[in-house]
Chain A
Amino acid sequence: DQQVKQNSPSLSVQEGRISILNCDYTNSMFDYFLWYKKYPAEGPTFLISISSIKDKNEDGRFTVFLNKSAKHLSLHIVPSQPGDSAVYFCAASASGSSNTGKLIFGQGTTLQVKP
């Protein structure tokens, strides 16, 4: 039972345009969400996060939007650059699991930004 789903395995966009990566979750206990970025042969690295008390968080070219009623979050990258080409993982956690540190990850979306 996949509690965090990224239904698009891949996404291709042109350099300079917007990339939108989507993530859906089913567990209403999740209250903290993160996006990780992964390059080949490297471990995931933290990109941006959002708490459930917010609906938007912005960091430079990256913005995460959270729609709690729809149990949906999205990552916007504007403008997209070739160096953004990577696998992006959405992850979620519930406050009660803060001690276990358990993050539930989606399947990942491979973003390709074409020059």
Chain B
Amino acid sequence: EAQVTQNPRYLITVTGKKLTVTCSQNMNHEYMSWYRQDPGLGLRQIYYSMNVEVTDKGDVPEGYKVSRKEKRNFPLILESPSPNQTSLYFCASRRPLSYNEQFFGPGTRLTVL
């Protein structure tokens, strides 16, 4: 089954404690991205990657890092989480230029106390 998986699905942490949210896709997609969803703001792109070792900032990259060492994985790293990073996070993948076939993961609900 074609899918994007994220782990963990739910996480409560404290300010300053480094964390990583994993994302993996099994569709051999070149393109992957991270979004956060906040009330009244919709989904906003954090980082994206067009292929292995190629990453770039989206609209709200502050406080986040990513890496793309393998095609299937695109982890999101919060080196020093803060309460304003409390949000719902989605990973997505697609082939280049195929917006219609963008697959989203199930989401990770992060709470930073």
Contact = CB atoms under 8 A, between A and B. Distances in A.
B107 A93 contact: no
A101 B100 contact: no
B96 A46 contact: no
B106 to A, nearest CB: 5
Contacts of A42: 106-107
Main secondary structure of the interface of B (DSSP, over half): strand
Interface stretch (A64-72, A73-81, A103-111): A103-111
Interface string B93-112: 01011011111111100000
Interface in B36-56: 40-45, 48, 50, 56
B61 interface: no
A107 B99 contact: no
A44 B99 CA distance: 13
Size range of the interface on A? Answer: 20 to 34
Which 7 A-B residue pairs are closest in the complex by CB-CB distance? A43-B104, A105-B42, A105-B43, A107-B42, A44-B104, A43-B105, A43-B106
Interface of B: 4, 31, 33, 35, 40-45, 48, 50, 56, 58-59, 90, 92, 94, 96-97, 99-107
Interface of A: 2, 4, 6, 32, 34, 36, 41-46, 49, 89, 91, 93, 98-103, 105-108
